[in-house]
A = this chain, B = another copy of it.
Amino acid sequence: MTPHPAGSAELPQPPWRTPRKKPQSRTPISQDLLVETAIRVLDAEGLDAVSMRRVAQELDTGAASLYAHVANKKELLDLVFDRVVGEIDLPEQGEPGTWREQIRELGIRMHATLSSHADVARVALANIPLGPNALRVSERMLGVMVAGGVPAQAAAWFLDRMSLYIVAEAYEGTLWEMPEGFNPETDRDAFVEPLRQYFRSLPVDQFPALVANVDEMTSGDKDERFLFGLDLLLDGLAARIRN
């Protein structure tokens, strides 16, 4: 139903033409397809599994073929990261709420999106995200703070520090991930208990504070600790402004 694209492409093939192997099954590689495929591998097997060879294999080709669409692995990972950041949906502009509430909400969404893609966050720790989607999020955060009366210098540095915190937490958080089939609610103790035992077994004379506070040291799940740290930063900024 689409207009004829080019030449006589829509005529049937003469019967003696040998059909291409795997006729339609192999869509031509493009940068988008490459990034999407890499994200599929990332989600299924983690960032370490995202190798040029592994992604190429997923596309039924060799690693060398990828270099037609991407300069090198670093570029592919940068594109992957920015695509993931593109999944963060920003609240409608002009929503109600103080800058503090809005920034907090943005931070939570950012953290949730990064955490939903295995350990992608590691990419942002190793490079410096400047892709269009990363800029979109930065622009919004900076805009909200400045509009809310945060001095520009504090706002700019806060954006930097809060991003570092969120990325670091999203990455480190993947280490505490439970193996498949574990229920985070009921089986949490099975993971924390060995750590508790270890702390308790320490010599009290050398580690009095640690031994006395084993429960406090091992309490709280990933999300509680994330929010605790996020609120420390926000409270710190708020305190700075009031002066």
Q: Which residues on A are within 8 Å of B, measured CB to CB?
A: 122, 125-128, 130, 135, 138-139, 142-143, 146, 152-153, 155-161, 164-165, 167-169, 171-172, 175, 198, 202, 206-210, 212-213, 216-217, 219-220, 225, 228-229, 231-240
A122 to B125, CA, bound (A): 9
Taking A156-B216, A157-B228, A158-B232 as known contacts, 7 extra A-B pairs with beta carbons closer than 8 A to each other, sorted by chain A number, are A125-B171, A135-B207, A159-B217, A164-B165, A164-B169, A164-B172, A164-B229
Chain B residues with CB under 8 Å of A172's CB are 125, 164
A126 to B176, CA, bound (A): 11
**Per a CB cutoff under 8 Å, which of B130, B155, B232 touches A216?**
B155
**Per a CB cutoff under 8 Å, which of B138, B160, B217 touches A156?**
B217
Known: A164-B172, A198-B130, A232-B236. A207 touches B125 (CB 8 A): no
Chain B residues with CB under 8 Å of A135's CB are 202, 207, 210
**Per a CB cutoff under 8 Å, which of B152, B155, B212, B232 touches A232?**
B232
Chain B residues with CB under 8 Å of A209's CB are 139, 142-143, 146
**Per a CB cutoff under 8 Å, which of B128, B175, B240 touches A126?**
B175
- Whether B235 lies near A240 (C-beta < 8 A) is yes
**Per a CB cutoff under 8 Å, which of B128, B146, B168, B212 touches A164?**
B168
Chain B residues with CB under 8 Å of A231's CB are 236
- Whether B225 lies near A161 (C-beta < 8 A) is yes
Chain B residues with CB under 8 Å of A130's CB are 198
Chain B residues with CB under 8 Å of A157's CB are 216, 220, 225, 228-229
Known: A175-B126, A236-B231, A240-B235. A138 touches B210 (CB 8 A): yes
A139 to B122, CA, bound (A): 29
- Whether A219 lies near B168 (C-beta < 8 A) is no
A117 to B183, CA, bound (A): 39
- Whether B237 lies near A232 (C-beta < 8 A) is yes
- Whether A156 lies near B125 (C-beta < 8 A) is no
Chain B's closest residue to A144 (CB) is B209
| A-B pairs with beta carbons under 8 Å apart, 6 shown | A142-B213, A158-B232, A159-B217, A232-B240, A235-B239, A239-B239
